């Protein structure tokens, strides 16, 4: 164990006796550079963005303020994952014309800055746009231009995974993959890295998407899949078997099965955990105190920390870290492990990953020296 982790353990031990210091942690976490790897970029648009689109198209004519609009959309009032997906599709439907699409790309950098994020990997769910006649190539070109601008002006890196989506069935998913392959074959450089499988977990068994993932894998695309946010641990097994993903989105139901937890730990399979999302979709916990994140980490599983949907869940990455620190048994040392795991689980090139890890380690070491 290196000096930084030894010191973090020491502080954690002390905090077990004296109690945690959420205020000090809040300052600490906001100053540390971070990565995030499970976030749906449509949900980086703000309520102010939606209000503008609402004014342009008169979607909810009575809503003149952000508060009224959030109320009308039922933000944070969902009953389960299916309702959340409905809400997500409603938010997407605010983007009526291709010209509005650049709002999504424009919303990424402000979020990264607010949370001191230097590498962000997000999902984009293209199905509803494609179905409404948006041109896939033009959407990707616009997004790639936004991401290039973020790198050029801010030195922050990004990657996008196209959500082939289980909400609209396997044929639609294959169509999304084919559109992506066609786009990637025509450009020299792109930050669109591969595919993800999102959407209502109960509506599509992983086996249905086996061919889509096989094709993506053979084409050298990165590939991840949501499983185990509302589905039982058996769906995580099926996802691993049929889709062979490089990471599991959520995967929290793994806590139901000892053997699966051991297998996940042994294989180093990263879980992209988004606690607030899990609490609001309510399947396995409704209070942070009851979330299985600490149980999964204590088994040695590679857990990463993410927000999923900032707009819909009113969550930000800094706050997510603060909530987990304040309301679970995880200590400062565990929070550092989460910070580092999330970078290690990214699809960055090794050299860039090492650079970011070194930078974060340096920042943490400096901060810990002030933890008296
Ligand atoms: Zn997600």
Q: What are the tens digits of pLDDT across the range 225-245?
A: 999 999 999 999 999 999 999
CB 123 within 8 A of CB 167: no
Distance 37 CA to ligand 1 centre (A): 10
How many of the other CB atoms lie within 10 Å of CB of 67? 12
**Ligand 1 centroid distance, CA of 4 (Å):** 32
Distance (Å) from CA 226 to ligand 1 centroid: 7
Say yes or no to pLDDT of 281 above 90.
no
Asked whether the beta carbons of 308 and 276 are under 8 A apart, the reply is yes
Tell me the CA–centroid distance for residue 160 and ligand 1, in Å: 13
- The CA distance from 269 to 284, in Å, is 21
124-154 confidence digits (pLDDT tens): 999 999 999 999 999 999 999 999 999 999 9
For residue 199, pLDDT over 90 is answered with: no
The confidence score (pLDDT) of residue 78 equals 86
- Cα(249) to ligand 1 centroid in Å equals 6
Give the model confidence (pLDDT) of 81-122 as tens digits: 888 899 999 999 999 999 999 999 999 999 999 999 999 999
Whole-angstrom distance, CA of residue 254 vs CA of residue 350: 29
- From ligand 1's centre to the CA of 251, what distance in Å? 11
d(CA 193, CA 204): 23
Phi and psi torsions of 132, nearest 5°: -90, 10
CB 322 within 8 A of CB 25: yes
One DSSP character per residue, 197-212 reads E-S-GGG--GGGGHHH
pLDDT at 279 over 90: yes
CB–CB of 116/32 below 8 Å? yes
Taking the centre of ligand 1 as the mean of its atom positions, its distance from the CA of residue 270, in whole angstroms, is 14
**Ligand 1 centroid distance, CA of 202 (Å):** 14
Confidence grade of residue 200 (pLDDT, cut at 50, 70, 90): confident
344 CA to centre of ligand 1 in angstroms: 19
Ligand 1 centroid from CA 165, angstroms: 11
pLDDT score recorded for residue 273: 98
Fold of 3-368: TIM Barrel (3.20.20)
Residue 2 — very low, low, confident or very high, per pLDDT cuts 50/70/90?
A: confident
pLDDT at residue 22, rounded to an integer: 96
- Measured in Å, residue 241 CA sits from the centre of ligand 1 at 20
Handedness of CA 212, 302, 313, 39 (dihedral sign): negative
| pLDDT score recorded for residue 7 | 94
25 CA from centroid of ligand 1 (Å):
26
Q: Where are the beta strands (DSSP E) in the chain?
A: 34-36, 117-125, 157-163, 192-197, 222-227, 248-250, 271-273, 303-305
Tell me the DSSP string of 152-173. HHH--EEEEEEE--STT-HHHH
């Amino acid at each position: 164990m290196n000096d930084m982790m030894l010191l973090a353990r020491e502080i954690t031990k002390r905090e077990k006796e004296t109690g945690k210091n959420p205020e000090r942690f809040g300052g600490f976490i906001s100053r540390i550079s971070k990565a995030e790897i499970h976030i749906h970029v449509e949900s980086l648009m703000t309520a102010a963005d939606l209000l503008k689109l609402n004014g342009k198209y008169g979607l909810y004519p009575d809503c003149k303020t952000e508060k009224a609009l959030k109320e009308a959309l039922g933000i944070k009032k969902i009953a389960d994952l299916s309702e959340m997906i409905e809400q997500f599709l409603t938010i997407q439907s605010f983007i009526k014309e291709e010209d509005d699409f650049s709002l999504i790309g424009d919303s990424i950098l402000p979020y990264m800055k607010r949370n001191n994020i230097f590498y962000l990997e997000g999902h984009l769910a293209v199905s509803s746009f494609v179905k409404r006649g948006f041109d896939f190539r033009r959407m990707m070109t616009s997004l790639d231009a936004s991401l290039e601008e973020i790198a050029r002006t801010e030195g922050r890196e990004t990657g996008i995974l196209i959500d082939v989506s289980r909400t609209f069935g396997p044929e639609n998913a294959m169509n999304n993959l084919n559109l992506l392959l066609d786009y990637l074959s025509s450009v020299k450089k792109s930050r669109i890295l591969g595919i993800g499988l999102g959407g209502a977990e109960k509506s599509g068994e992983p086996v249905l998407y086996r061919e889509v993932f096989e094709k993506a894998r053979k084409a050298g695309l990165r590939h991840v899949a949501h499983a185990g946010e509302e589905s039982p641990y058996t769906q995580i097994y099926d996802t691993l078997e049929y889709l062979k993903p490089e990471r599991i989105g959520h995967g929290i139901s793994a806590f139901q099965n000892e053997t699966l937890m051991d297998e996940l730990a042994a294989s180093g399979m990263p879980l992209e955990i988004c606690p607030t999302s899990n609490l609001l979709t309510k399947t396995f916990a409704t209070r942070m105190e009851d979330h299985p994140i600490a149980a999964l980490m204590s088994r040695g599983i590679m857990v990463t920390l993410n927000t999923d949907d900032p707009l819909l869940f009113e969550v930000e990455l800094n706050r997510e870290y603060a909530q987990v620190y304040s309301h679970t048994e995880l200590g400062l040392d565990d929070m550092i492990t989460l910070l580092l795991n999330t970078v290690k689980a990214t699809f960055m090139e090794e050299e860039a990953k090492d650079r970011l890890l070194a930078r974060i380690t340096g920042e943490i070491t400096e901060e810990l020296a002030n933890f008296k």
